[in-house]
Structure 1
Amino acid sequence: MNMELIQALEDIEKSKGIPKETLIDAIEAALKSAYRRDFGSGSNVEVQIDQNSGEVNVFAKKNVVEEVVDDEQEISLEDALDINPNYEIADIVEVEVTPGNFGRIAAQTAKQVVIQRIREAERDIIFEEFVNREGDILTGIVQRRHKNNVIIDLGKTEAVLIPHEQIESEFYEAGDRIKVYVVEVNQTSKGPNILVSRTHPGLLKRLFELEVPEIHDGVVEIKSVAREAGYRSKIAVYSNNEDVDAVGACVGPNGARVRAIVDQLKGEKVDIVQWNEDIEVFVANALSPAEVVKVESNKENNVAQVVVPDYQLSLAIGKEGQNARLAAKLTGWKIDIKSESQV
C-alpha cells in the first residue's frame, strides 16, 4: 500500500464520482475486519490509512493501568510513559500493532473493496437513471426467456417482462426490438430490478404522446385510455384549440400516425374518440364505430341508458361485449345498450 493506491483512488473519484474519502473509510473498515479475523484481536483495534502517502497502520487502543491484567486491552503506566511522558492512569493510548505481512493483506483487501464499491456505485447510477423513467417507455431487445419471464436488454441493464404484462397474442423472440412501458423500478443487492409491461394502458398513452406533436405540445389532451391489450383499445382526446381537430391530429395524414402506433402494438386495433364534458355525448362517442340514437344518463348511479338502431346493436356491444366494455372503462360509467325495437 503506497502512493499508487492514493493515485488509483483519486482516478476512481474522477471517473466514477466516488469520493476518495468514502473509499478510504470502506477500506479501513474492511482491513479492521481482516485484522480481527487473521490475528484474533479484540474490538479496540483501529486501522488508519495516510491519505497522502497511502501507508497503512494498525493501532490498538489500550487503557493505562497500574497493573496489566489483559494485554490486548491494557498497558502499564510505565510502558505508556515510554511512549509519551504526559500519560496518566485511565488515559487511552494508541499502540501500533501493524503485523509485518499486513501490507499484502491490505493490498488484497483494498482491491476487493474498491471493486465492490465501484460495482455498487454503478448500480446506484443505473438505478437513479431508470427510477426516473417510471411511467415512460423504453426500447429494448428481447434477450432470452427465463422460465415464463422475458428478459429485455436495455443496454446498461436488463428489464423483466413477467407473464401478466405480456400480450397473449405476441411471441417474443430473441433479437426482437420492442417498446415497453416502465411500471416499477426497485433497487436490489444485484442492481435495479426493472418491471416493464406491454399490456399497460400507459404504453398506448405514451406512444401517442411520442407520435403526435400536438399532444406533446399540449394542444391536444389524452383524457382517458381503455385497453384490452393485443385486441382493441379506445383513447379519448380533446383539443384545447378550436382550430385543431383532436381526433384528426391523432389519426394523422392518411392514418399514418395511428398506423405507426398499431404497428408498434403488433396490430392491436385503436379507436380514437372525441372527449366531451357532456357525459351523454361522450358515451355516444365512446361506443364508436356504432351509431347511437339516444343516451340518457343517471348521474346518481353513473349509469347511461343507450339506444341504438336495431342493425347497430351487435356493433355497439361488440364481439363478446368488447366494444361496450371498453366504452364503459373509457367513460367510467356503466352502459346499458338497447335497440330501438327493444325500447
Structure 2
Amino acid sequence: MSKELLNALDALETEKGIKKEVIIDALEQALVSAYKKNYGQAQNVKVTFDAKRGDIKVFAVKEVVNEVLDSCLEVSLSDALEINRAYEIGDTIDFEVTPRDFGRIAAQTAKQVIMQRVREEERQMIYNQYSRYENEIMTGEVERRDSRYVYVNLGNVEAVLSKRDQVPGEVYNSHDRIKVYVYKVVDPNENQNAEQNEEEGKKKRRNRGPQVYVSRSHPDLLKRMFENEVPEIFDGTVEIKSIAREAGDRAKIAVYSDQEGIDPIGTCVGPRGERVKAIVEELNGEKMDIVEWSEDPSEYIKAALKPAEILEVRFDREDDHACTVVVPDTQLSLAIGKRGQNARLAAHLTGYKIDIKSESNMEELDRQSEEEPEENFELPETEDVETEDVISIEDIEADNE
C-alpha cells in the first residue's frame, strides 16, 4: 500500500497540481481521527507519514513528570532517563503504538482523503480561474434548462442563468452560443459555511462546487459590450456615466468626454452606425438611445427624454431630485413613450423623479395659481388637478402594475 500511495501522490501532483504536502497533512489528521474511532483514544496521539518510504506510524505522545497519574498521557522521569539521559521534566516523548491491522484502516482513510482533497482542489482551482472573470463578459454554450435556470457551459464550469437574468423574448436552445455577463462567482468554501446548519443543502453545495452566476439582462453587460466595441471607452477618452435598461426592448446610455474635439455620441455610434449596430445585433434588436451627459441637470434631463422636444424643466423646491418637464402638446406622447417607457428610462438614467406635462396644461395650472388670492397663495391640500394631459411616472408605473 505504501508504494501505491506514493505513486498516487506523485500522479496527483503531476496531473492535478495538488502538492503532496497538502494531502499528507490532511491524511495525518484524518488518521488520528480514524485511530480514535477504532481504538478509543487520540487526545495524545499523532500519526506520521514517511514521504520517502510511505510508512505510516502512530505515536502516543507522553509528558515527562515526577509522579505518573495517567499512564496513557504521562511517563515518569526515571523511565524517560532510561531512554535518554537528556530528558527533563516537561519534555514529551513519542512512543510508537501502531496497531498491527492499522494498514487496512490507513488505506481506506487515504482513499477517502485523496478523493476529498482532489474534489476540493479542483473546485478551488475553478473558483480561482473564474473569479478573475467576475464583472466581465464571457461566451458560453447553452447546455440545458429547467424550471429555474438555463445552464451555460463556460469551459470548466457550468454557469447558471436565472429567469430574472434572462432577456424577455429570448429563446435559449441547446448548443446556442451566447455572450453572458459574469456578475458573481461564489467560493465553494463560502457555500459550505453559508449552509452549515442545513445538512441537505450543505451536501448539495459540496457536490456542486463553485457557483458562477451570469446574466443577459444586467446593465453592465451593455457597458462591457460598449467597451469592447468602442476603443475610446476602453481607454477612458469617453466615459459611460449611466445606463438605464429594459432588457430586450430599449436602453438609454449617457456618455461624456472632457476632451475637446471628441463627440462622445458619434464616437459610440461609429461610422455609419457600425459600432452600435454590432451591439444591437448581439442583443437581438434591443434599441439604443445614446445621449450626452451634462453637469447641468436641466440639460441632462432634456437629453435623457430625447427624441422628444423639451420646452422647460422646473425643479421641485422641496425635493432636490424631482422636477416637472414641460413639452409641446404634440410631443406629450413621444416624451412619455409607449407604456411610459421613455419617461421611465429617463428617470432611471438621471436619478430624477420626472412629471411630464403638456404646454397647454402647464399654462392652465400657472393661470390658476395666479388667480388665487394673495392670502391664499398655497393650494389646498385636498385639491387635485385632473386632466388627461398630466401624466407622472408614478401613474405610469401604477398602470403597468
Do the two structures share a fold, i.e. TM-score over 0.5?
A: yes
**2:282 equivalent to 1:264:** yes
Residues 32 and 42, structure 2, Cα contact 8 Å, conserved in 1? no
Distance 1:3 1:306 in 2: 82
Alpha-carbon separation, structure 2, partners of 1:77 and 1:334: 84
Q: 1:253 aligns with which of 248, 271, 281?
A: 271
| Counterparts of residues 288-307 of structure 1 (less than 5 Å) | 288-298=306-316, 301-307=320-326
CA shift for structure 1 position 7: 5.5
1:28 aligns to 2:46 (yes or no):
no
Alpha-carbon distance between aligned partners in 2 of 1:275 and 1:74, rounded to the nearest angstrom: 78
Q: 1:309: which partner in 2?
A: 328
Give the SS at the match of 1:172: coil
Q: Which residue number in structure 1 is paired with residue 221 of structure 2?
A: 203
Tell me the distance in 1 between the aligned counterparts of 2:282 and 2:321. 35
User: TM-score w.r.t. structure 2 length?
Assistant: 0.76
Shift of 1:331: 1.1
Q: Can you give the 5+ residue segments of structure 2 that lack an aligned partner in the other structure?
A: 193-205, 363-401
Q: 1:23·1:117 contact (CA, 8 Å) conserved in 2?
A: yes
CA 96–316 in structure 1, closer or farther in 2 if over 3 Å, else same = same
- Whose RCO is larger (CA < 8 A, sep 6+)? 1
Range with greater deviation from structure 2 (284-293 or 297-306): 297-306
Structure 2 counterpart SS, 1:320: helix
**Contact (CA 8 Å) 1:3, 1:52: kept in 2 or not?**
no
Q: Per the alignment, in what secondary structure is the counterpart of residue 288 of structure 1?
A: coil
Further displaced range: 203-212 or 238-247: 238-247
Alignment partner, residue 153 of structure 1? 153
Q: Which residue of 2 aligns with 1:341?
A: 360
Residue deviations 1:152-194 (CA, integer Å, cap 9, x gap)? 2211112222222222322222222222222222222432122
**Correspondence for 1:179:** 179
Tell me: CA distance 1:38–1:342, structure 2 relative to 1, closer, same or farther (3 Å): same
Structure 2 Cα separation of the partners of residues 215 and 90 of structure 1 = 69
1:239 maps to which of 257, 262, 269: 257
The alpha-carbon distance between structure 1 residues 55 and 295, as it changes in their structure 2 partners (threshold 3 A), is: same
Shift in CA distance, 25/170, structure 1 to aligned 2, threshold 3 Å: same
Residue in structure 1 matched with residue 397 of structure 2 by the alignment: none
Aligned residues: 343
Higher strand share: 1
Give the conservation status (yes or no) of the 8 Å contact 1:134–1:183.
yes
1:326 Cα deviation from its structure 2 partner? 0.6
1:20 and 1:225 mapped to 2: Cα distance?
Answer: 50
Q: Does 1:330 align with 2:349?
A: yes
**Preserved CA contact (<8 Å) 1:42 1:72:** no
Residues 73-92 of structure 1 correspond to what in structure 2 (within 5 A)?
73=73, 83-84=83-84, 92=92
Gaps of 5+ in 1: none
1:66-88 Cα offsets, whole Å, 9 max, x none, are 99886644667887676556668
Whether contact under 8 Å (1:279, 1:297) holds in the other structure is no
Q: 1:217 to 1:42 in 2, by over 3 A?
A: closer
Q: Structure 1 residues 50 and 279, CA, compared in 2 at 3 Å: closer, same or farther?
A: same
Separation (CA, whole Å) in 1 of partners of 2:142 and 2:172: 7
Contact preservation (8 Å) 2:35, 2:42? no
**Structure 1 residue matching 2:360: 3-state secondary structure:** coil
* Aligned twin of 1:228: 246
Q: Are 2:325 and 2:355, in contact at CA under 8 Å, matched by a contact in 1?
A: yes
Any idea what the Cα deviations from partners look like across 1:8-50, whole Å, max 9, x if unmatched? 5355445544443222111111111222223333422211112
Q: What amino acid is the match of 2:305? A: L
Q: Which has the higher helix share?
A: 2
Asked whether the 8 Å contact 1:280–1:304 carries over to 2, the reply is: no
Whether contact under 8 Å (1:63, 1:92) holds in the other structure is: yes
Does the 8 A contact of 2:33 with 2:42 survive in 1?
no
Structure 2 Cα separation of the partners of residues 43 and 174 of structure 1: 55
Residue identity opposite 2:238 in structure 1? V
Distance 1:282 1:85 in 2: 88
1:298 positional shift = 4.5
Q: Percent identity?
A: 56
TM (norm. structure 1) is: 0.87
Q: Determine the C-alpha separation between the residues in 2 that align with 1:162 and 1:3.
A: 49
> What amino acid is the match of 1:145?
R
Cα deviations by residue, 1:123-160 (Å, 9 ceiling, x for unpaired): 11221222233322222222222332222221111222
After superposition, the CA RMSD in angstroms is 2.8
